[in-house]
Amino acid sequence: MSSMQDELTVKIEGFSNLGYGIARADGVVIFTEGACPGDLVKIKITKRNKTYYHAKILEILEPSPYRVRPFCAMQKVCGACQMQFIDYDYQLKLKKLITEDAMKNIGALNLRVNDAVSSPDIKEYRHKIQYPVSQTKVSKRILAGYYKAGSHEIVNIKHCPIQPEICDRIVEFIRNKAGDFGISGYDEKKHSGDLRHIVIRNSVLNGENLVVLVINGTKVFDRLKKFAQAIYDEFDAVSGVCVNFNSKRTNVILGGKSACITGSDFIEERILDKVFKIGANTFFQVNPKSAENIFGYVKDYIKNNFKSPLVLDAYAGIAAFGICVSDVSKHVVSVEENAQSCEFARDAAQANNINNIEIHNTDAAEFFAKEKRKFDVIILDPPRKGCTKESLDNAVKLCKGKIIYVSCNPATLARDLKYLTEKGAKIESVQPFDMFCHTYHVENVAIADFSQNIE
C-alpha cells in the first residue's frame, strides 16, 4: 500500500460519517476532504494509515452533478459548514446514507431508515453561536469565529449566513470594543487572557438575544461589568449579558457556573404551542424550527400509539419533550441533573399550565436504578456520547412499551440500538432530521418496541 504514488486521479464513490468523500485505489480506502460523490478529482495523499489514507483535492477534473457554489465566501476556510458545496436535497440523501451505514456497520442492524426531514430554514437557521476568541500578538486585535477545519486556528468571521444577522453585529461590537475596556483575548497555548468564547442565544419567538461572555477566570471584575453593560446598552435586541466562568485547560466551552451582569438571564422560545426559558447553561437545540419537527414527530407518535400513557423524559434538559407531550399523556416524569434547567422546566410547566408533570433534579442513571414505576413510553435524549449500558439496562427494566431514542450521533445511536435489540427490543423505525444544515451531523429519532416482551 505504501508504494501508492502521492498524487493520483480518483472517482469519489461515497461519503463518510465525518464528511469526507470516499475513493478507492489499489484496494485502499481514501478519505478526501472537500469531495462530493460523483467528483473525478486529482488528489494528494496527506496521511497514510495501515488500512486507509487521507487526501486533499489538487484539482477537480469533472465535478459531481451534485456540486454547487457555496453561498458563503468563507466556506473553504471555515470548518463550520463542511457540506455547503453540495446540493441541499442531496445533502439529505447523504445524511440518510450516513445513518444507514452506522446502523449496518456499527449496529449490525438491517434496518430501513426513512428519508431525512429537511430543515425549514437552510440559512439563518442556527440560533446558538459559540465563537472561540483569540488575540493577535502584535496588533492585539481580537479574533472571533469558527475554527479552520482540523485545527484550532480561528477564522475571523465577519458575516455568517447560517445565523441571524444580529449575531454578526453583536460579535463585531465585542471585537471592536473589548480593548477599550481592557478585555484581552484568550491564548490557548499559554492559558492566559480574559475572553475565551462568545456565546449568543437568539430567539425565533421574539428576536431577543442572550449574550454570554466565557472568561478565563472565576469571578467578575469591574472592567468586565462595564463591558457587559456597554453591550447591553448598544443593542435593543440584547435581553441580557451573562458571564460564564471557565478557568480550566479544556476544550469544553462552558464552565459550570454563570452570573448575569445586566438584563435577563434567559430568552424565551416557543416549540409547538409551548413557551420555554433558555439560559446560559441550559441545553436547547440550535435549530428551533427543525427541533419543532422532531418534537411534533414524537408527540404525534405517542398520540397515535398510546392512550393516556405514563411517560418518562430522561436527560430532559428544560423538559421540552416532557412538556410538549404532556397533553397527550396521563402523566410525565422528567429527569435532569442540571439545576438551572430544572428551574426553567418548572417555570415552563407553570407558564404553560401543565399540571401532570413531575420534575426531578438528579442523574438519570441514579433515578433509573431507584425508580419502581413501569412506563409506557421512555424518551431518551442523551448527549452525543450516548447512553451507558447501565442506563440502558435500567431503561429496559422500567419500560413496558416503547423507548423513543433521540440522538445527534448515528454511531452511538447504532451502538445503543444494537444493545437494546440484544435485550429484546424490536427496532420499529429510524427517522433522520436535518438539524445542522450543510454539516455532516444528523439528528435521528428511533423507536424501540419492548411491548412484545410483556406477558
Which candidate in 78, 399, 408, 437 is catalytic?
A: 408
Question: How many CB atoms neighbour CB 339 within 10 A?
Answer: 11
Q: Rounded distance, CA 240 to CA 261, Å?
A: 8
Nearest Cα to Cα of residue 254 among 175, 326, 197, 184: 197
DSSP H helix total and E strand total for the chain: 9, 21
Nearest Cα to Cα of residue 431 among 284, 292, 294: 294
Strand order in the sheet with 331-336: 357-361, 331-336, 310-314, 375-380, 399-407, 443-449, 426-433
Residue 83 to residues 94, 188, 395, Cα–Cα distance (Å):
10, 28, 36
Q: Rounded distance, CA 426 to CA 142, Å?
A: 53
CA angle 69-440-254, nearest 5°? 115
Q: Rounded distance, CA 340 to CA 282, Å?
A: 7
Q: How many Cα neighbours within 13 Å face the side chain of 103?
A: 22
Residue 188 to residues 182, 197, 200, 249, Cα–Cα distance (Å):
19, 11, 21, 8
408 is catalytic: yes
Q: Which residues contact 75 (CB under 8 A, 6 or more apart)?
A: 81, 84, 85
Residue 95 to residues 5, 16, 210, 271, Cα–Cα distance (Å):
32, 10, 31, 24
**What is the set of active-site residues?**
408
